[in-house]
DNA sequence: AAGACGAAAGTGGTTGA
DNA sequence: TCAACAACTTTCGTCTT
């Protein structure tokens, strides 16, 4: 659909309005996708269930077999007598096959489900292909390392997507990604941190400037104002107005200031909604940036 | 009436003894 | 293990346009 109009990585998804938007031209690629959203999700869920219904009996078959003819380590037969040498060797081989087939099938089932989830979330958020690939690589590595055990596949996939986006500097907030999963934001954040640590992934520090284009285009901001906002952030880069602050909030504040300067004012309310922060945060960031850079606006103490 | 402002209390996670 | 802590949110009354 949209690939023809715009290079894939320039398209963003505005979940609030249910539109795909090109970050370069600000043009709406396809609206009302939200109407399809639920069906998409329902469809996937159905499919997931269908899959599990197909998968389950097979699964049970393997397990039944495994349990009913479970080969323990005692090397005794049913009557308690020791097995012959030959029977013992056979038993060892059986145990190996049993272990391998169980591991492989569970790994495959896991990956199948994970890739479905990746596809689903990726589509909903219009994640670029490169990031999808990156996410799938990250997930596979996590799976090999046993990091998925004890966590939901969906959450680990969500964290993988977030990690891939961070790594490739694609501005997606945790909230946006969490929105389409059952798990909550904090759970995904925690897994994200684990992934970074355990897989030794280097992630560039989130740059508020990356969010300017995104937020700006969602609000129909002029290119000049976006440029100004980016410049403001660049200047504030090494001040304590920026240190350790939420990049989305900083971007929103910079856009707000740029809007004031360029007489292209955007209300804090709208900005807050799009940036995913509160008005109060924007106000705080905006005040500290103004102080740090000594920007003079008419109404200042 | 809408928007901006900021104080004060609340939230949930991290940190360090 | 738990209290202090930082960053952000919620809520709300007041001021400005």
Distance A23 CA to C8 C1' (A): 28
DSSP of A71-88:
--TT-B-TTSPBPPHHHH
A269 touches strand B (CB under 7 A): yes
DSSP A111: H
pLDDT of residue A74: 59
DSSP A181: S
Distance A248 CA to C2 C1' (A): 32
pLDDT class of A12 with cuts at 50, 70, 90: low
Residues in CB range of A145: below 8 A, 6 or more apart: A198, A199
Range list of β-strands (E), chain A:
11-14, 19-22, 28-30
Please give the structure tokens belonging to residue A272: 């807050």
| All domains of chain A in start order, with CATH | 34-198 (1.10.472.10), 208-293 (1.10.472.10)
Query: Across the strands, what pairs with A76?
Result: A82
What integer is the mean pLDDT of A191-213? 86
CA distance A83 to A77: 6
- A18 neighbors A35 (Cβ within 8 angstroms): yes
Is pLDDT above 60 for A240?
yes
Q: CA-based Rg of chain A, rounded to a whole angstrom?
A: 26
- Strand C contacts (Cβ < 7 A) comprise A 243-246, 249, 276-281, 284, 299
Q: C-alpha A253: how far from its chain's center?
A: 25
Of residues A30 and A170, the one with the higher pLDDT is A170
Nucleotide nearest to A248 (CA to C1'): C8
pLDDT of residue A41: 35
Q: Which nucleotides of B are covered by protein (CB under 7 A)?
A: 2-8, 12-14
Pairing of strands A28-30, A11-14: unpaired
Cα A228 to Cα A210, A211, A243, A253, A254: the distances in Å are 14, 13, 20, 12, 8
Nucleotide nearest to A281 (CA to C1'): C8
A:229-268 Cβ neighbours of strand B under 7 Å: 265, 267-268
Cβ count within 10 A of residue A294 = 6
CA angle A66, A69, A74 (to 5 degrees): 105
A:108-167 Cβ neighbours of strand B under 7 Å: none
Over residues A64-84, the pLDDT tens digits come to 333 344 555 556 666 666 767
């Amino acid at each position: 659909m949209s690939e023809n109009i715009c290079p894939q990585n320039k398209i963003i998804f505005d979940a609030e309005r249910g539109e795909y938007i090109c970050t370069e031209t600000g043009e709406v690629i396809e609206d009302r996708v939200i109407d399809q959203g639920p069906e998409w999700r329902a469809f996937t869920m159905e499919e997931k269930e269908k899959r599990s219904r197909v998968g389950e009996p097979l699964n049970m078959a393997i397990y039944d077999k495994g349990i009913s003819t479970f080969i323990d380590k005692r090397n005794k037969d049913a009557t308690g007598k020791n097995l012959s040498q030959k029977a013992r060797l056979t038993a060892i081989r059986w145990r190996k096959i049993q272990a391998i087939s169980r591991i492989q099938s569970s790994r495959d089932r896991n990956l199948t489900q994970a890739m479905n989830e990746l596809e689903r979330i990726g589509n909903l958020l219009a994640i670029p292909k490169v990031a999808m690939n990156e996410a799938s690589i990250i997930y596979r590595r996590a799976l090999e390392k046993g990091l998925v055990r004890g966590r939901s596949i969906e959450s680990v996939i969500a964290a993988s997507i977030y990690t891939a986006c961070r790594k490739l500097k694609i501005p997606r907030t945790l909230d946006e990604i969490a929105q389409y999963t059952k798990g909550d934001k904090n759970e995904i954040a925690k897994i994200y941190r684990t992934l970074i640590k355990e897989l030794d992934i280097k992630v560039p520090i989130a740059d508020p400037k990356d969010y300017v284009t995104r937020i700006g285009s969602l609000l129909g901001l002029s290119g000049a104002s976006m440029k100004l906002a980016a410049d403001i952030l660049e200047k504030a880069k090494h001040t304590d107005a920026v240190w350790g602050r939420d990049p989305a909030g900083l971007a929103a504040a910079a856009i707000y200031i740029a809007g004031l300067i360029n007489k292209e004012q955007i209300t804090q309310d709208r900005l807050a909604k799009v940036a995913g922060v509160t008005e109060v945060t924007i106000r705080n960031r905006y005040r500290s940036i103004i102080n740090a850079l000594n920007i003079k606006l008419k109404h200042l103490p």
